[in-house]
Amino acid sequence: MTDPTAAAIPTPKAPAPDILRCAYMELVVTDLKRSRDFYVDVLNLVVTYEDDDAIYLRSMEEFIHHNLVLRQGEAAAVAAFSYRVRSPEELDKAEAFYAELGCPVRRKKDGFVRGIGDSVRVQDPLGFPYEFFYDVDHVDRLAWRYDLYTPGALVRLDHFNQVTPDVPKAVGYMEDLGFRVTEDIQDQAGTTYAAWMRRKPTVHDTAMTGGAGPRMHHVAFATHEKHNILAICDKLGALRLSDRIERGPGRHGVSNAFYLYLRDPDGHRIEIYTQDYYTGDPDNPVVTWDVHDNQRRDWWGNPVVPSWYTEASTVLDLDGNPVATTERTDDSEMDVTIGADGFSYTRKDDEESLPEWKQGEYKLGHQL
């Protein structure tokens, strides 16, 4: 269990900026052409602008300049998790909030990337490069351009997912930043393995996954419907790119959404996600899942692959240097569920009920 006396992140006296939503991620990629093939030719994200150094991509329903920046670099990494705030004045609040926390803070009136104006970038108390902005170029919203839709069209940026060693500490800080928890995974001893948090009224804008961090676990784009996700799988198969599929398709227990996890040419993990639920009421009930419930991460009981638990992307500080990671000291979700000592159940009060052939799926080394 987490030591409750371990240093929590202090709550600043300065008010938090009013965050609207996750808006875009800036990824460093090692071969821009190869990444373009994946994000544009396979996933059909829309190119807002591109040059020899970077590609700015958006989803079909987006009206701001981009949801994803691919920037050519020496080593794959994440340069920014970017959130849009409610007004330009919120940037002053972001500066003061993080200055009080003692974090590195930078502000650029003309933006850190093309298409975005006045912005604040910080290395937050968990080590992540967070950005806040309001000013942004508007571009054509292609929602009604059905002549441009493809069977697997990505329509919105849905959420980020971050890996951090101490989930309760991360949740405390994110609550100070104005986020609300919608779901989490715990065990009976009270260890928290992951938590989902939102600003916009969906299940999340970001999630904190327990593990060595800070690292980026995935960035997720939404489709309209489940069949759009199946179409992406079919297309990857047809292109002989099925090895881009890491996990799924399936339905999550957490979030109730339909999902698919892909790995891009640098190994950055992308989730395709659809049909979670509304969470905007102030008394929206928090859903807590037992870590041993084998339907929590896949509603159909399919086991999680080990790479999904262990692999994640490096994040950069504000000078572009990789941020060193800290190991998790709480129990690991992989170890307690699919490791040698792990167990999972389908029916809560019937823990011996998994048939023997099914139990093997949750033990490493039992796969053929």
Contact present, 101 and 10 (Cβ < 8 Å)? yes
| DSSP code, position 42 | I
Non-local CB neighbours of 237 within 8 Å, separated by 6+ positions = none
Least Å from the CB of residue 203 to Fe ion: 9
**Of 47-55, 73-81, 156-164, 226-234: span binding Fe ion (CB under 5 A):** 156-164
Residue 58 or 159: which CB sits closer to Fe ion?
A: 159
Q: Nearest distance from residue 271's CB to Fe ion, in Å?
A: 4
Residue 195 Ramachandran class (φ > 0 left, ψ -120 to 50 alpha, else beta): beta
Site membership for Fe ion, residue 126 (CB under 5 A) = no
Least distance to Fe ion, CB of residue 218, Å: 6
Torsions phi, psi of 301, nearest 5?
80, 15
CB closer to Fe ion, 30 vs 307: 307
What is the distance between the alpha carbons of residues 210 and 328, in angstroms, rounded to a whole number?
7
Question: Rule CB under 5 A: which of 261-300 touch Fe ion?
Answer: 271
157 binds Fe ion (CB under 5 A): no
254 forms part of the interface with Fe ion (CB under 5 A): no
CB–CB of 279/199 below 8 Å?
Answer: no
Sign of CA dihedral 275, 67, 314, 40: positive
CB 97 to Fe ion: min, Å: 26
Is there a cis peptide before residue 10, judged by omega within 30 degrees of 0? no
Which window, 21-29, 39-47, 126-134, 157-165, contacts Fe ion (CB under 5 A)? 157-165
User: Whole-angstrom Cα distance, residue 331 to residue 171?
Assistant: 17
28 binds Fe ion (CB under 5 A): no
**Interaction between residue 105 and Fe ion (CB under 5 A):** no
Q: Which two tokens stand for residue 164?
A: 């951090």
Q: For Fe ion, which is the closer residue by CB, 65 or 204? A: 204
Contacts of 16 (CB under 8 A, 6+ apart): 93, 97, 176, 177, 178
Q: Which stretch binds Fe ion (CB under 5 A): 28-36, 184-192, 214-222, 342-350?
A: 214-222
Window of 41-49, 97-105, 136-144, 155-163 that interacts with Fe ion by CB under 5 A: 155-163
Q: What is the C-alpha to C-alpha distance for residues 93 and 100, in angstroms, rounded to an integer? A: 11
**Measured torsion, CA atoms of residues 355, 358, 362, 367, in degrees rounded to the nearest 10:** 140
Cβ distance to Fe ion smaller for residue 16 or 220: 220
Residue 259: CB minimum distance to Fe ion, A: 7
205 is an interface residue for Fe ion by CB under 5 A: no
Radius of gyration from C-alpha coordinates of the chain: 20
Q: In the complex with Fe ion, which residue's Cβ is closer, 132 or 273?
A: 273
Alpha carbon 316 to its chain centroid, in Å, reads 16
Q: Which residue stretch of 37-45, 81-89, 93-101, 215-223 sits at the interface with Fe ion (rule: CB under 5 A)?
A: 215-223
Shortest separation between residue 152's beta carbon and Fe ion, angstroms = 17
Contact residues for 292 (Cβ-Cβ < 8 A; gap 6+):
187, 336, 337, 343, 344, 345, 351
Residues 6+ apart with CB under 8 A from 191: 1, 2, 291, 330, 331
220 binds Fe ion (CB under 5 A): yes
Nearest distance from residue 146's CB to Fe ion, in Å? 27
Query: Which of the ranges 25-33, 105-113, 133-141, 216-224 carries the binding residues for Fe ion, by CB under 5 A?
Result: 216-224
Instruction: Output the smallest distance, CB 253 to Fe ion, in A.
Output: 13
If one asks whether residue 120 binds Fe ion (CB under 5 A), the answer comes out as no
Is 62 an interacting residue with respect to Fe ion (CB under 5 A)?
no
- How many residues make contact with Fe ion (CB under 5 A)? 3
| Footprint of Fe ion (CB under 5 A) | 161, 220, 271
